[in-house]
Chain A
């Protein structure tokens, strides 16, 4: 019987071989030296019928506890938000799902226009003029941004905040290791978490390619001095890079409005599932400056007309920056990206609109505020540890209760609650602190439940 995914059955293949005058299919592999020819079957599970695969994989996945079936306060790089049903339906349409990179624009206008719309909406959110059609994720976008700053300015230093997300920092280190750029960390005020502007100004010289801040920061607080950071960076003709969670931008000021030259971030919360941390969606946008745009990595979709000069259409543009043309002189090696995740983000943004996005931001901030209020009232907890405005993530310290953040989480888990991410391993100076995240998914009852549980554990 033929395989469902291989239409040419053994019989048909035999017929083809006869037509070709070839004795057996083995002849077509005769050019593989005998020494390396595999003479045994690969040791792999399967083959299984569709029904058996479903049962098998479902049973395996059943050993996961989805956060939809428990109360979770995790964030820290991927966030839990409601994805409207129609977003998932549209993105699964096979014309989108099974298509390739739109190299043939005549048969790819769907994908091209959807990505053009994505680019435009990201520009509106971030206050930038040009956005690319996606990178892998926030961390790699940061790596690419640092490389871009170095290329544009010809300088070798890149400044980041000490409280930068450590996974992003490690990725950044790998990306800058190629050209050997130097990374400098700027400290923070221990009370407010805010960037140490004095230290920043001391480090800023004619050899700094770019200054990077995360806003909201990894630990959830807002950087209130971003205007000053932008000014300081621009005074020495360095570029200003801002990393964002785009959900916050329905409520918060766009980085473009406070001096950002490049904006990067994580697009996953815009209509994409958490999915154990991937696939993600790297946002990458910059100002409309020819020096910047030509050094931008990633695919860019542009508007044009058909050769009749009238019918509007979309094509990939400025491909000469990319690997398939420039090869070792390309702005980046990126080829396959996260296009479909970008389309999901576009559909999500188009569905929410400006009002929906602002209300979503307000809901997240309001819920987080409520949580911080209730939790800080518990004796022994410090919530948040930084005296600054926050968006929807915040720190929770339990040093004074006398148990570790990890133990706190273990206790919470007994009560069916997934606590925040313990930060001891990443920032030992912060003691037993966890990173909590609250979104529109949390109800008042959920937060009250967390509060009682923590009060119980603390007491």
Chain B
């Protein structure tokens, strides 16, 4: 994982960039899925709410697919989608090779980042969380 990022229990990462927040899936997620063949990107303007234990449609940003599995991508923060990484349309494998950089999924305009950060983990907390999963 990467320092300076925040993590959800659903293996999404969030990077605060001024007023915006860049979102992607973690290295753990891409490894678990295997070779990614398709990324279902959200529509620009879509409003989402921060993912909680009980999942609803409003928390869904999109999905990442391998040939044998589909993994939902949930919103680590509430807000609206400002930009999507269209490079993933032709090169979905970027999520495998560069999950934290070129494999970013979308840019959100978060509605309440300060408060919602409290529901996310930092790098070391996420590392602990991963240990607990094994």
Contacts and interface: CB of A to CB of B under 8 A. Distances in A.
The interface size bin for chain A is: under 10
Nearest to B65: A320
A45 to B, nearest CB: 45
Contacts of A320: 37-38, 65-70
A319 B68 CA distance: 7
Contacts of A326: 70
A291 to B, nearest CB: 11
Interface residues of B, number: 9
A329 B72 CA distance: 11
What's the dominant secondary structure at chain B's contact region? strand
Contacts of A319: 67-68
Contacts of B89: 290
Nearest to B67: A319
A325 interface: yes
A294 B70 CA distance: 13
A236 B67 CA distance: 35
Contacts of B69: 320, 325
Nearest to B40: A294
A437 to B, nearest CB: 44
Interface in A309-365: 317, 319-320, 325-326, 329
B20 to A, nearest CB: 27
Nearest to A317: B67
Contacts of A290: 89
A258 to B, nearest CB: 30
Interface string A354-398: 000000000000000000000000000000000000000000000
Contacts of B67: 317, 319-320
Nearest to A290: B89
Contacts of A325: 68-70
Nearest to A327: B70
B95 to A, nearest CB: 15
A290 B65 CA distance: 15
Contacts of A329: 70
A329 B69 CA distance: 12
18 contacts: A290-B89, A294-B38, A317-B67, A319-B67, A319-B68, A320-B37, A320-B38, A320-B65, A320-B66, A320-B67, A320-B68, A320-B69, A320-B70, A325-B68, A325-B69, A325-B70, A326-B70, A329-B70
